[in-house]
Amino acid sequence: MTAADTTTTRRAASPRGSGTPRRRRHRLTFDKVSFMVVFLGVPLAVYAVFVLSPFVQACYFALTRWSGFDPNPEFIGFENFVRLFQDQTFLKALGNNVILLVVIPPVTIFLALVLATIVTMGGPTRGQIRGIKGAGFYRVVSFFPYVVPAIAIGLMWLMIFDPSSGPVNSVLTAIGLDQFQSYPWLGRVLTAMPVTIFVIVWAFVGFYMILFVAAIKGIPSEIYEAARIDGAGRWRTLWSVTLPQVRSNVQTAWIYLGIFALDAFVYLQALNANGGPENSTLVMGQYLYRTAFTKNQFGMATATGVVMAIITLAFAALVFLVNHLTGGSEKEERR
Amino acid sequence: MSIDTETAATQPEGSDAPPARTYRKARGGGGDTVFTTVSQVLLIIWSALVILPFVYTLLASFKTSSEIFASPFALPEKPQWENYVRTWTESGIGRAMINSIIVVGSALVVVMLLGAMCAYVLARFEFPFRRAIYYLMLAGLTFPVFLAVVPLFFIMQNFGLLGTLPGLSLTYVAFALPFTVFFLYSFFQQLPQEIAEAAAIDGAGEWTTFFRVMLPMAKPGLAAIAIFNFLGLWNQFILPVALNPRPENYVLPQVMAAIAGSANYEIDYGALFAAIVIVVLPVLVIYVIFQRQLQGSVSQGTNK
C-alpha cells in the first residue's frame, strides 16, 4: 500500500510525466511555493523551537554547572554524571524506576490479556465464536481509568488508602483486622511501593485490554475454527493461536508500559509527592524536578534527563532484540 | 466441541464408544458453563474494582467530614452541596477549569491545523529531505519529555512566554504535533491521487485543494486524532507543572497536584472529594458520548 502510493506520488512529481496536469504540479508557481513554505515551515518551526532544540540543548547543559541565572554555564565535562551515580538518593530513585519497569509491564499485560480473552472468547465453545454477555458494558467500563486525568486517579486512591478515613482501612477493621485501624499504607516502606504499583496497574489494565480486544478481533475466525476442529481446548487455543497472533501488540504494549514505568511521575507525585517513606517511592522524574526547580542545579537536572533518555532508549532496543531473538512476529505469522 | 455433538448424533449405533462420548459431551457442556460463570464473575469483580472508587468518591463528595469517617459506602444524611461551593471558590478550581479550557481548546485547534498541514505535505509531495523530516518528527515521539523540560523552561523565559497561557498552549501544540503528524500521515497517503488531479484540472490551487478537497476527505482521521489529543492534553501533567509556575494561571492538573501536596495537613475532606468529581465528571461524560470513536481511534493508532 505504502510502496505503491509512494511510487504514484513520485511519478506524479517526475518532470518526465507526460500528462499536462501532472506536469503542472511540478511547476514552481507562487501558489505552490507559498503553500509549501507555510504548510511545512510553520509546523516545523514550532517543532524545532519547542521540541528539537530543547532536546539538543539538554545534551550540552548536562555537561555544565549551571544555576540558571548566569548566562554562560561552566563546562565541566562528565562531572555531573559522576556525581549523579555517587548520589545515594539518585541511585535509590533509579532502583525504584527499575522495580516499576520490571513489575508493571508483565502484570498489566497478563491481566489485560486475560480480560481481553474472556471478553472476546468467553462465550460458549459451541457454534459461532462469540464474546461473553455484556462485553460492550465491560469494555466501556474498562476504559474509564484511561480517560480520567492521572493526577485525579492518584488523588482518589490517596483518599481511599487514607489511614484514618479511607474505606480500605474501615473495611479491614470491620472484618476484624484491628491492626489496620489507622495503618498508613503509603507511609510505610513495606507497603508504599506495592500500593503505588497497584494504583498504576489499575489505571492501565483497561486501556491495554481494549487494545488486545481489538487485536484479537482482527484475527481471522477461520484460524479459530480450524484450531477447534483440530480439537484444541480453550487454553491450547489461547496459547497456540491467540498469543502468537497478538505478539506484536504485546511488544508494543510492553514498550509503552516500560517507557511509562521509567517516568511514572504523575502517580508518584499524587501518592507521595515527597518521595515516600525513606524515599521508597522516589522516582527519577521527581529527583530531576527537585534538582531543577527547588535546588536550581539545572546542569545536574539535565544530566538526570539524559540518563533517563538513555535508559528509555536502551529498554526499547532490548524489547525489540528479545522479540527478534525469540522469533519475531513476522516469522510467527507466516508459520 | 460441535464436532463431538455431531458424531454423537450421526452414529448412535456405535457399541464401544458411547461411554467415552457421553463423558466428553458432558464435560464439554459442564466445562462451558463453569468457564462462562467464572469469566462473568471475574469481569464483575474487575468492573466493581473500576467503578467502586468512583462511586465512593461521588458519595463522599456529598458528605460531611464526620460522615466520611463513619462509614465509607453509606449514603449522606443530607447532600452537602456546600462542598462543591467551597471547593469551587476556595481551591481555585473554577479559574483552573477556565484556564484548562482556554489552553487545551486553543492548542487543539492549532495542533490539528498544523498537524494536518505538515502530514499532508509529507505524505503527498516529493521534495528533498522529505524522509529525513519525517523521521525527525518520529524522533520527537521517542525521547522522554523530562529531557526537554529544563532547556524548555529557559527557552520560554527568553521568549517571555514562561507562565503565560499562550506559552503553555504553544508547548502543548509542539509536543502533540509528532503523534498527530504520524497518525495523519498514513491517512493522507491513502486518499486517492485522482481527486487531487481532478481538482487541479478544475483550476484549484494547492491551497484550495487542501482546504476544500483534502481536509474534508480526511474527516474521520481528524476526528479520531482530535479526541485522542484532547484527552492527552487535558491530562497533561509535567509540562504545566514545570512551565506554568503562576498560581493564577494554573490548569486543572496543577490544582489537583497542589491539593494532593497539602493532603497531609488539616484537610477539608468533602471539598477535596468534590474537587475530584469536578475534574473527573466532564471527562467521563465526554468519554461516554464519544466512546465508540475513541476506542476505534486507539486501536487504529497503535496497531499500525
φ, ψ (nearest 5 deg) of residue A64: -125, 160
| Model confidence at B7: pLDDT above 50 | no
pLDDT of A279 over the 60 cut: yes
Which of B206, B10, B47 lies closest to B125, judged by CA?
B206
pLDDT above 90: residue A303? yes
Q: What whole-number percentage of chain A has pLDDT above 70?
A: 86
Same domain, A262 and A161: yes
Q: What share of chain A in percent tops pLDDT 90?
A: 42
Lowest mean pLDDT among A26-35, A237-246, B24-33, B263-272: B24-33
Contact between residue A230 and residue A283 where contact means Cβ atoms under 8 Å apart:
no
Residue A33 is predicted with a pLDDT of 84
Q: Cell triple for residue A180?
A: 489496620
Instruction: Establish if A74 belongs to a structural domain.
Output: no
Tell me how far the alpha carbon of residue A206 is from its chain's centroid.
13
- pLDDT class for A92, splitting at 50, 70, 90? very high
B23-33 residues labelled b (16+ CB within 10 A) or e (exposed) = ebeeebeeebe
Domain contains A287: yes
- CB-closest option in B50, B173, B189 to A206: B50
DSSP letter for each residue of A116-178: HHHHHH-S-SSSS----TTHHHHHHHHTHHHHS-HHHHHHHHHHHT-TTT-HHHHHHHHTT-G
Please report the pLDDT score of residue A161 as a whole number. 92
Sorting pLDDT into bands at 50, 70 and 90, what band is B264?
A: low
B118, B146, B291 ranked by CB distance to A143: nearest: B291
In this complex, do B124 and A262 lie within 8 Å of one another by their Cβ atoms?
no
- Could you count the other beta carbons within 10 Å of the beta carbon of residue B174? 27
Query: Which DSSP letter does residue A68 get?
Result: S
- pLDDT of B103 > 90? The answer is yes
Please give the model's pTM, rounded to 2 decimal places. Answer: 0.83
Average model confidence (pLDDT) across chain B = 82
pLDDT at B4 over 70: no
- Quote the pLDDT of residue A174: 84
Asked whether residue A57 falls in the same domain as residue A101, the answer is: no
The answer to whether A144 faces chain B, any CB pair under 8 Å, is yes
**pLDDT at residue number A156:** 93
Which range among B56-65, B272-281, B285-294 shows the weakest confidence by mean pLDDT?
B285-294
**Domain boundary assignment for chain B:** 2-60, 84-302
pLDDT confidence of residue B2: 38
Contact residues, chain B, for A289 at CB < 8 Å:
241-242
Q: Do A138 and A169 share a domain, yes or no?
A: yes
Q: For residue A69, is it within any domain? A: no
Query: What pLDDT is recorded for position B21?
Result: 40
Whether A128 shows a pLDDT value over 70: the answer reads no
Rounded to a whole number of angstroms, the distance from the CA of A7 to the nearest CA of chain B is 10
Residue B265: the pLDDT is: 59
What local confidence, expressed as pLDDT, does residue A3 receive? 42
Same domain for A115 and A20: no
Distance (Å, whole) CA B36 – CA B13: 33
Across the interface, whether the CB atoms of B276 and A285 are under 8 A apart is answered no
The residue type found at B35 is F
Could you give the number of structural domains in chain A?
A: 2
Are the Cβ atoms of B260 and A154 closer than 8 angstroms?
yes
CB B118, CB B129: distance < 8 Å: no
- Please state the φ and ψ torsions of residue B82, each to the nearest 5 degrees: -60, -30
Grid coordinates 462465550 are at which residue?
A123
Q: Which residue has the higher pLDDT, A181 or A257?
A: A257
A284 and A244 belong to one structural domain: yes
Residues 228-287 of A with CB under 8 A from B: 228-229, 231, 234, 249, 252, 256, 259, 262-263, 265-266, 269-271, 273, 284-285
Nearest to A32 among B178, B206, B286 (CB): B206
Examine residue A276 and state whether it is found in any structural domain, yes or no: yes
What are the residues whose beta carbons fall under 8 Å from the beta carbon of B275, sequence distance 6 or more? Answer: B87, B91, B93, B255, B256, B259
In a domain, A106, yes or no: yes
Name the pLDDT band for B242 (thresholds 50, 70, 90).
very high
With cut-offs at 50, 70 and 90, classify the pLDDT of residue A307: very high
Q: How confident is the model at residue B285 (pLDDT cuts 50, 70, 90)?
A: confident
Q: What's the CA angle centered on A252, arms A250 and A253, to 5 degrees?
A: 65
| Same domain as A174, residue A107 | yes
The backbone torsions φ and ψ at residue B259, rounded to the nearest 5 degrees and listed phi first, read -65, -45
Nearest-angstrom CA–CA distance, A215 and A225: 17
Give the residue from A46, A61, A76 where a domain finishes: A61
pLDDT confidence bin for A166, thresholds 50/70/90: confident
Both A50 and A112 in one domain: the answer is no
Beta strand A64-65 with A74-75: parallel, antiparallel or unpaired?
Answer: antiparallel
Query: Are A52 and A88 in a shared domain?
Result: no
Residues A181 and B185: their CA atoms lie apart, in Å, by 56
How far CA B156 is from CA of A55, A294, B160, in Å, comes to 14, 18, 6
| Tens-digit pLDDT profile for residues B29-63 | 556 778 788 888 999 999 999 999 999 999 999 98
pLDDT level of residue A202 (50, 70, 90 thresholds): very high
pLDDT at A41 over 50: yes
Do residues B74 and A163 lie in contact, with contact meaning Cβ atoms separated by under 8 Å?
no
- Give the pLDDT score at A239: 84
Contacts of B284 in chain A (CB under 8 A): 144, 147-148
pLDDT level of residue A85 (50, 70, 90 thresholds): very high
Q: Which residues of B are less than 8 Å from A141 in CB distance?
A: 47, 50-51
Residues A44 and A162 in one domain: no
Cell of B261: 501536596
Lowest-confidence pick of A130-134, A222-226, B226-230: A130-134
User: Residue A10 sits in which domain range?
Assistant: 2-61
Q: Among A201-205, A262-266, B110-114, B260-264, name the one with the lowest average pLDDT.
A: B260-264
Q: Specify which residues A65 forms β-bridges with.
A: A74
The whole-number pLDDT of residue B6 equals 37
The residue to which cell 497478563 is assigned: A110
Q: Does A31 touch chain B (CB under 8 A)?
A: yes
Residue A266 CA to residue A287 CA, distance in Å, equals 13
- The predicted structure's pLDDT at residue A247: 87
From 1.10.3720.10, 2.40.10.10, 2.60.120.10, 1.10.630.10, which CATH number describes the B84-302 domain?
Answer: 1.10.3720.10
